[in-house]
Structure 1
């Protein structure tokens, strides 16, 4: 396994004062086709109770994964869904979405989840928005002989002689996301050489390798097999893979386009009410 870069998530706030840890990739290179990885992890209700009130998006895909607690999603397309532990949600915002994500009542016992942004190719940024979630099904998983478990959150995954596919398999850049749990001293080996970008974000515990600690993202060379080894206790990480889009990015808040002119138009369209409302 070849490590190309190690990045530590930075603390920040978003929404109505929600405390998160963020990996930012709006340079369009470092984690392309992904743009951002936000982790919300807290047992203190005050860190997330404000949630994310109604706000707009254009030109991106949002992928939400909940490990503990839950949020209620609502958007101008008429979707209103509770996303709870072990569930995922994907939204292709295209030409415009208004949505909110507010913590569920049982989230008072803590929250752990992610929102990941993916860039959309220029040709798709003005497509009609789409929504999908996994609330009506169990996410598929594989466990190998050492006890390592891979849960397919998005895309297709091959592990040894086993193959699984998530129902969410239409992400931009052929994005694939999995959650891997490694019991103490377990190991997992995955060939992701068919992707152009592979990153791993450790969300729980620490792996045997000194770089793999909670709150760190590791960029890996997909030309080399990925080998992950559990440490002295259980650990967990997200593994993200995709094909870089390799396009210029113009970013302002919730909008990601290709030019400044397109950004200004997005703002005008939003203020003109063209995104709808909830």
Structure 2
């Protein structure tokens, strides 16, 4: 077995999208090879309704799949196929934009006005860029959760893990998407297919990931003067950890435990031509998509 090295840790950066939604972006719109087949990851956590209530009005997508996971609050959605739905806490939505879709996503806070969720963009291979659009909404109660003897819990959203399979399937990138909590002070090892790119996104608690090159681990904490290590709560820190190659990771939880998403997928290794919500393989395909938007032929008839 080989421990995956930690290539990089970085904080998600604040940005604004849609009609004025304040969110944090862990990656996206930079180097598409970095975490191929994944293109973008957003954390839309907010305490103030005025920072998210205007939502994401009607906009196009082509050439990608989006996976939305809601932790608190709700998201109302509708699309050009006539689909409508409401995602609540714990629910997941998978959308294959394929040949083209127009949709809107309108968040609502919970009883305390809080909203929290994640959106991941997965690239489609050239052979499926123009596939028919599809939607799948999955309720939280249908997502298997495994609780280990030491209190570690894993929600299997996509893929298979510890003998359970997630309810979302058919995604071209064939990702594994896990929501993991490791209790205070526990050390836990998780297997990852050697041929997949992988990252973790820490959104609550604190801890460290052990690294083969630095066995003491890459600390996700703040070190104070002297010998004392004060591991601070990372609930507002939004830390991305990008891993190198190997077939496992090991995490050491801090005094309040650590909760993170562990996401991996097989790289496509294809050229990327990207403009906003449209991701194709060539500039010619991208320009055709723009022409389709202008002349009203973006949405293709169902076969």
Q: TM-score, normalized by length of structure 2? A: 0.85
- Relative to structure 1, is the Cα distance of residues 207 and 23 closer, same or farther in structure 2, using a 3 angstrom cutoff? same
Residue segments in structure 2 that go unaligned for 5+ positions in a row: 210-218, 222-233
Counterpart position of 2:68? 64
User: Which structure: larger Rg?
Assistant: 2
Provide the secondary structure at the position in 2 that maps to 1:268.
helix
Matched, 1:53 2:57: yes
Q: Counterparts of 2:112 and 2:80 in 1: how far apart (Å)?
A: 27
Q: Which moved more, 1:259-268 or 1:211-220?
A: 211-220
Contact 2:17 2:23 in 1 (8 A): yes
In structure 1, C-alpha distance between the alignment counterparts of 2:183 and 2:116, rounded to whole Å: 19
Cα separation, 2, equivalents of 1:173 and 1:276? 23
Q: Is the 8 A contact 2:59 2:102 kept in 1?
A: yes
Change (3 A) 1:218 1:88: same
Q: Is the counterpart of residue 173 in structure 1 residue 173 in structure 2? A: yes
| Counterpart Cα distance in 2 of 1:171 and 1:101 | 20
Aligned residues: 273
Give the deviation of 1:222 after TM superposition.
4.3
Partner of 1:6: 9
1:24 maps to which residue?
Answer: 27
Aligned position for 1:218: 241
In the superposition, the TM-score normalised over structure 1's length comes to 0.92
Please, which of 237, 250, 257 is the counterpart of residue 273 of structure 2?
250
- Which runs of 5 or more structure 1 residues have no equivalent in the other structure? none
Q: Matched residues in 2 for 1:237 and 1:31: separation?
A: 17
CA contact (8 A) 2:90 2:140 kept: no
State the Cα distance separating 1:100 from its structure 2 match: 0.4
Whether contact under 8 Å (2:89, 2:140) holds in the other structure is no
How far the C-alpha of 1:109 sits from its partner, in A, is: 2.1
**Aligned: 1:271 with 2:274:** no
- Note the aligned Cα RMSD (angstroms): 1.9
**Could you tell me which residue of structure 2 aligns to residue 241 of structure 1?**
264
